[in-house]
């Protein structure tokens, strides 16, 4: 049987300095492993990349020794904005944009992403461009107030929310916003999905609902940013979802996939006619231990085991009921009843 070579296998080989240019001819190489090999080829030889351990973590280009900020000279900012390091981050944003569009998590020109790349400077997507057709040349650089520093296209108006999140939550390195339909359905009813059903969701996401505010307004940024202390996945009522990551834009994107798959699964499970099994307190406690080790925020750290799965304004399988108007019924009137009986008796007596 042919050997399957995954992205992880190739990254392991690279990090151990092995030659990845001569893989077995009959090996099945997964699409992501293939993309990675192609990237290695594009960025010089695969052997040269193997010499750089950082290549394994996807950080093919190291960040600048000195972090720039919004007050740095314009020429330095421009050079940085056009450097291989930032170009690589622009490509990552484009890649996530294409995935968002292919999965129908964005519609029209909806959705936006950003990555903090200096003290108070942020790379972000432009306005009025579909995430399905993003290119690195579309990207913008803004300061923490939203003033555009570099890039030819105009930055998205919703970056103001991203910036407020980053200002409030120093850990937030990357932010992703989109409108995945199942998760947005929960946002439309203003309720966070019930918890304690699937492990990935518990480990990667900590979900809250923010009240509706006009998209792009300072008020929107304010209500969302306050939630970033304990939540990394925020449903914005009647709008969509925003996630953040302290690692990468890809991780912020993963939260979207995990949240959307979870919402879809529990909606389907709710139709199967059986109650859904949930985690026990100790099972949930274990998952939260893993989550903490990964450095993800969650409001449930430190809670008692018996409190961990006590969630749910809405349970899958719950049936919404429309109140039926009461059928018009004549109320019982003993006097009228007696009168009817008397008349009936008289009629019957005459018929005898
Ligand atoms: Zn939106």
State the DSSP string of 181-239.
HHHHHHHHHT-PPP-SS-HHHHHH--EEEEPP--TTSHHHHHHHHHHTTT-SEEEETTT
CA-based R_g, the chain, Å: 29
Given a cut of 70, is residue 51 above it in pLDDT?
no
209 CA from centroid of ligand 1 (Å): 15
Question: Tokens 């100790």 appear where?
Answer: 282
* CA angle, 34 then 35 then 38, to 5°: 85
Q: What Å distances lie between residue 154 and 106, 148, 159, 247, CA to CA?
A: 19, 8, 11, 26
CA angle 102, 106, 112 (to 5 degrees): 115
Query: Annotated catalytic, 119?
Result: no
pLDDT of residue 56: 37
Q: Which pTM does this prediction carry?
A: 0.74
Q: Residue 57 above 50 pLDDT? A: no
pLDDT, residue 49, reads 35
Q: What is the mean pLDDT of the chain?
A: 86
Q: What is the C-alpha separation between 319 and 325, in angstroms, rounded?
A: 18
- 112 pairs with which residues across the strands? 177
Q: What's the pLDDT band for 141 if we cut at 50, 70, 90?
A: very high
For residue 32, how far is its CA from the centre of ligand 1 (angstroms)?
A: 29
Q: Which pLDDT belongs to residue 41? A: 56
Burial level of 174, CB count in 10 A (0-12/13-18/19+)? Answer: buried
Task: Compare 123 and 331 and report the one with higher pLDDT.
Answer: 123
Phi (first) and psi of residue 72, to 5 degrees? -60, 150
Ligand 1: centre distance to CA 111 (Å): 5
| Distance from residue 107's CA to the centre of ligand 1 (Å) | 9
**Dist. CA 242 → ligand 1 center (Å):** 9
Burial of 339: CB neighbours in 10 Å, binned 0-12, 13-18, 19+: exposed
Pick the catalytic residue from 158, 202, 251, 260. Answer: 158
Find out whether 238 and 220 touch, Cβ atoms under 8 Å.
no
DSSP for residue 155: B
- Calpha distance 116→194 (Å, rounded): 32
24: tokens are 């077995």
**Ligand 1 mean position, distance from CA 177 (Å):** 7
User: What would the pLDDT profile of 257-294 be if each residue is shown by its tens digit?
Assistant: 999 999 999 999 999 999 889 999 999 999 999 999 99
CB under 8 Å, gap of 24 or more: what pairs does 256-259 form? 256/100, 256/105, 256/176, 256/178, 256/180, 256/183, 257/103, 258/200, 258/201, 258/204, 258/205, 259/180, 259/183, 259/193, 259/201, 259/205, 259/207, 259/233
Rounded to an integer, the average pLDDT of 213-233 is 96
Residue with tokens 């950003």: 114
Do residues 168 and 228 lie in contact, with contact meaning Cβ atoms separated by under 8 Å?
yes
- Helices 84-102 and 74-81: crossing angle in degrees, nearest 10, is 50
Give the span between the Cα atoms of 158 and 176, in whole angstroms: 11
CA–CA gap between residue 138 and residue 1 (Å, rounded): 45
Q: In this predicted structure, which of 18-32, 68-82, 220-234 has the lowest mean pLDDT?
A: 18-32
Q: What is the mean pLDDT of residues 16-36?
A: 66
CA dist., res. 37 & res. 23, Å (int)? 11
């Amino acid at each position: 049987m042919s050997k399957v070579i995954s992205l992880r296998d190739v990254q392991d080989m690279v990090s151990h300095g092995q030659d990845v240019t001569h893989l077995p001819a009959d090996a099945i190489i997964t699409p992501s492993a293939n993309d990675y090999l192609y990237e290695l080829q594009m960025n010089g030889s695969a052997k040269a990349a193997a010499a750089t351990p950082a290549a394994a973590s996807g950080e093919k280009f190291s960040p600048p020794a000195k972090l720039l900020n919004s007050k740095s000279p314009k020429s330095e900012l421009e050079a940085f904005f056009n450097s291989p390091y930032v170009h690589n981050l622009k490509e990552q944003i484009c890649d996530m944009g294409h995935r968002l569009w292919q999965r129908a998590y964005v519609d029209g020109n909806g959705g936006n992403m950003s990555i903090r790349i200096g003290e108070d400077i942020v790379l972000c997507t432009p306005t009025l461009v579909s995430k399905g057709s993003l290119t690195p040349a579309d990207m913008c650089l803004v300061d923490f107030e939203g003033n555009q520093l570099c890039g030819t296209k105009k930055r998205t108006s919703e970056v103001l929310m991203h910036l407020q999140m980053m200002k409030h939550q120093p850990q937030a390195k990357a932010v992703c916003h989109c409108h995945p339909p199942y998760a947005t359905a929960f946002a439309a009813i203003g309720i966070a999905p019930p918890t304690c059903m699937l492990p990935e969701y518990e480990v990667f996401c900590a979900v809250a609902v923010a009240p509706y505010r006009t998209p792009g307004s300072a008020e929107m940024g304010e209500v969302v940013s306050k939630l970033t202390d304990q939540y990394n996945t925020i449903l914005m009522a009647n709008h969509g979802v925003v996630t953040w990551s302290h690692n990468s834009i890809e991780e912020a994107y993963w939260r979207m996939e995990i949240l959307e798959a979870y919402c879809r699964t529990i909606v389907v499970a709710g139709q199967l006619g059986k109650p859904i099994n949930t985690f026990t307190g100790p099972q949930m406690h274990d998952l939260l231990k893993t989550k903490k080790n990964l450095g993800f925020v969650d409001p449930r750290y430190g809670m008692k085991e018996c409190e961990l799965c006590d969630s749910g304004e809405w349970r899958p399988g719950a049936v919404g009921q429309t109140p039926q108007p009461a059928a018009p019924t004549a109320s019982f009137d003993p006097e009228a009843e007696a009168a009817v009986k008397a008349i009936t008796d008289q009629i019957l007596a005459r018929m005898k």
